[in-house]
Amino acid sequence: MRLRKGPPDFILFITTLLLIGIGLVMVFSSSAVTSNIWYDDAYFYFKRQLIWALIGLVCMLVVMKINYLRIRDLAIPLMIFALLCLILVVTPLGIEAKGATRSLGVGFLRFSPSELAKVAMVLFLAKTMEVNIEHIKSFTKGILPYLILIALVCGLIMLQPDLGTSFAIAGTAFFMLLAAGARWSHLGLIAVSGAGLVAAAIAVAPYRMERFIAFLDPWKYPTDEGFQTIQSLYALGSGGLFGMGLGRSRQKFFYLPEQHTDFIFAILGEELGFLGAFLVICLFVLFAWRGFRIAINAPDTFGSLLATGLTIMIVFQAAINIGVVSGALPVTGITLPFISYGGSSLLFTMMGVGFLLNISRYSTYR
Amino acid sequence: MYNGMIAGQKVLVVGLARSGLAAAQSLHKLGAQVIGYDQKSLDELGTAVKELEQLDIPVVNQLQSDIMNESLDLIVVSPGVPLSLPVFDWARSQGVPVIGELELAYRLKNPKVDLLAVTGTNGKTTTTALLRYILEKNGYAAYYGGNIGLALTNLLEKLTEGVVAVEVSSFQLETVDQFRPSICGLLNITPDHLDRHKTMQAYIEAKSRIFKQQKPGDFAVFNFDDPYLRQLAEKCPATVVYFSAQHQLPEGFFIDQNIIVYRHEGQDIQICPAGDIRLRGQHNLENVLCAVAMSYLYGARPAMISDALKTFTGVRHRMEEVIYHQGVLYVNDSKATNPDSAIKALQSFNQPVVLIAGGRNKGSDFAEFAQVIEERVRELVILGEARQEIKDAVMKTSFRNIHEVNDLNEAVAVAYQLAVAGDVVLLSPACASWDQFPSYEHRGDLFCELARSLAEKSQD
């Protein structure tokens, strides 16, 4: 019966820990060569990722203990804070790296507002959709306010610029609208106009256009725009069924750029082969199953929407990343949750899992 | 737990109508030494005797001293049998436990089967049916027990798992002992307009038996809007959860900004929009909130509750509460095509009833029906082919408030004139509809239409 708090979803917990464990190993393996040369310390990235993982674990366990209904009141302040950070990051306060301004902070402490924005957005949508659930079928009352918000958040992120994260946030919001019961006709309209906007974003920026053309046939541009995809495919290809063996990647020797962040999955495929890559995909599928199960069995609308949003946020991003790495999608610069190197991404993702685990404690089906 | 203990016991079953018969059969199957007893003659009992004789169960209509002397272990009473019969005085003096069919069914229940019980003066059938429907939508093996369908003993002795939503009348609660539902719901206690204070106390007392055996960890769902129930809740050993169709509660189920919420430990748990509710009328709002609260506490998921509310339009033609008009509740029970189910319908009301009955007799005997009419009906409106038969049966009792009419139009008009605030106008014909209608659905539809048009007319 209801209201007797049970244990959190064990399978989701284990899946998450496995993914993070694989991530730590792969961050070390993929970054050791470059960090040894750049920082004279093969463990440079690994140590940082390990620290973030430990912080993330503590946060996850703390969040797991807090009744998720209590964070409902945080939704609006957190969204405002996220928007402020997104604005700050495009002012001179933002820290520039590789042609884009994506993080805030001082010295060693840096964080990416867009990672915060992802979680804040899911929380905010869950809270407001709960209140608005009876208007969700109306366009002006139900859908339009969300479209404006999505446009605002994605617009700010596009200023960094970061098409990948914008797309991930918009996609998550789209699926949350779907889960909340929006009309198919409205959703279709959003999908079409969204696709139009992405197309426009690609057409407007020459580098995106080049990437897109390169995506269609990377072998035509093997030295510039197609380079990354080709190197990624080399990595996956040489991995074969069983892989080259852990630590034995060749592509990580300065062939494949972003080998410990956006393209870590390629190195994983190279070292652990199809089986290793397949295992990771299976873990994400398992994660999706448990996440949606928690959403379905959540004791209230808010919990259900929150669980849906968090699960989609993580799984959707994983799907895009794996799509990019395997050449099925154009290069967008998006990380693989739990596995890619990146402190704030890991931290916020793990907090999201903490919420999921908390919601699972209140479901009746076990 | 009880199944084993019943073997070899000597059990007297009093009252051999549908559920008495079911009880006797179940007890026999479990190895009890059963004796059937009914005041009616063997001829009057008809098929019941034959079914029992096939099982070698003796049926008597007089309690000779030899039966009484061979110390009985248990007496099982059918619903509808007055507890004032001498046999019960004797039982009390001898210390023989007397239990009702509900109690027996409960004792036969498999421990893996959960029991959710609903009681109240009005709305039991709708609430119980909705509760079962929500649970079914949630993927539970959910069953209904009560006025419609199988006798509860027949249902519970077979089930090995699942959940049963049971509709329980105060009458049945008078003969329970161990009965302990996992969750019970109390809808309302309508004050008796005849102001029989003592009876009212006894009635409230009987209602409290629904939760008497509950333990902390069980739930008892109370209608906050009913002052009697609020008093009663103080004595409840289970976790009390209120619902209210009128107020916002600090803890409990209610409607806030058109959304059904459960406020629990300071947090509003949103269940679903109130706009999902398809059942009409204020009284149905109470029924819905009660069913939602009970199913939610049992473990139903909000999305599935929402789904169920969107598609549940009530149990048509079976204790269907059509409308409240000038304090009178109009109930369509057109599906009651035999005296047995019409008796059940009558027994479910505690307030005075204006009964519309008649149609084509399907070969039933109206004697018992007439007795219940005498007990529970204030005015009787009869129509159709069986009019004279019913009248003859009723004239054998002391009841004289009989009104003969030709058709249903006239019947509703007469009933409207006779009913005063606090009454129930009940169409429960005890007969088939074929003399004047193609089916009982047509009869019920016409009744609903007539009742609603009464309300519309007076609004002009």
**pLDDT above 60 (res A69):** yes
Q: What is the layout of strands, in order, in the sheet containing B377-382?
A: B320-325, B328-332, B424-427, B353-357, B377-382, B402-404
Displacement of CA B116 from its chain's centroid (Å) = 14
Distance CA B177, CA B96 (A): 13
Query: For helices B47-54 and B18-29, what crossing angle results, to 10°?
Result: 0
* pLDDT attached to residue B185: 96
To probe the interface with A, which of B221, B269, B305 has the most A CB atoms within 10 Å? B269
Minimum CA–CA partner of B140 in chain A: A365
Same-domain pairing of B350 and B277: no
pLDDT 10s digits, B90-117: 888 888 888 888 888 898 888 899 999 9
Cα separation, A177 vs B71, whole angstroms: 70
Q: Do residue A299 and residue B269 have CB atoms under 8 angstroms apart?
A: yes
Contact A3/B264, CB-based, under 8 Å? yes
Q: Which of B182, B217, B273 minimises the CB distance to A133?
A: B273
Query: How many cross-chain Cβ pairs, A to B, lie less than 8 Å apart?
Result: 54
d(CA B269, CA B291) in angstroms, rounded, equals 16
Confidence class of residue B196 from pLDDT cuts 50, 70 and 90? very low
- The answer on B329 and B252 residing in a single domain is no
Q: Per-residue pLDDT tens for B366-407?
A: 988 999 999 899 999 999 999 999 999 999 999 999 999 999
Same domain for B86 and B150:
no
Nearest residue, CB atoms, B258 vs list A130, A134, A364: A134
Question: Which residues in chain A are contacts of B297 at CB distance < 8 A?
Answer: 1-3
Is the same domain home to B207 and B122? yes
Compute the Cα dihedral for B73, B79, B83, B86 and give only its sign.
Answer: negative
* Residues in chain B within 8 Å Cβ distance of A296: 301, 303
DSSP string over B27-50: HHHTT-EEEEE-SS-HHHHTHHHH
pLDDT at A83 over 90: yes
B298 and B224 part of one domain: yes
CA distance A68 to chain B (A): 10
- The range of the structural domain enclosing residue B81 comes to 3-96
Alpha helices in B265-383 (DSSP H): 282-298, 302-311, 339-347, 367-376
CA–CA separation, B124 and A109 (whole Å) = 64
- In tens, the pLDDT along B4-56 reads 577 788 888 988 877 788 888 888 888 888 888 888 777 777 777 788 888 88
Shortest alpha-carbon distance between residue B274 and chain A (Å): 9
Question: Which residue would you say has higher pLDDT here, B277 or A3?
Answer: B277
Q: Are residues B142 and B213 in the same domain?
A: yes
Q: What is the number of structural domains in chain B?
A: 3
**Residues B180 and B241 reside in one and the same domain:** yes
- Chain B's closest residue to A298, CA to CA, is B301
| Domain closes at, from B70, B96, B122 | B96
Nearest CA in chain A to B275: A134
> In this structure, are B261 and B360 located in the same domain?
no
**Do B454 and B332 share a domain, yes or no?**
yes
| Shared domain check, B215 and B286 | yes
Partnered with residue B262 across adjacent β-strands are: B253, B269
CATH of the domain at B79: 3.40.50.720
CATH classification of the domain holding B228: 3.40.1190.10
- Interface of A to B at Cβ within 8 Å reads 1-3, 67, 69-70, 72, 130-131, 133-134, 296-302, 304, 364-365
Q: Which two tokens stand for residue B28?
A: 């026999």
- Listing DSSP states for B194-248 in one string gives T--HHHHHHHHHHHHTTTTT--BTBEEEEETT-HHHHHHHTT--SEEEEE-SS--
Tell me, what's the ipTM? 0.74
**B242 vs A34, higher pLDDT:** B242
- Based on the fold, state whether residues B75 and B143 are members of the same structural domain: no
Listed residues B67, B96, B125: the one ending a domain = B96
Report the C-alpha dihedral over residues A215, A219, A221, A224, rounded to 10 degrees: 80
Range 135-194 of B in CB contact (< 8 A) with A: 182-183
B311 to chain A nearest CA, in Å?
Answer: 16
Q: Which of B267, B297, B307, B310 best tests the A interface by mutation, with the highest count of A CBs <10 A?
A: B267
- Token pair 């109240």 in the structure block, residue: B120
Question: The whole model's pTM is what?
Answer: 0.79
Domain end, chosen from B294, B311, B328, is at B311
Q: Which amino acid, A119?
A: V
Question: Is B216 within 8 Å of chain A by CB?
Answer: no
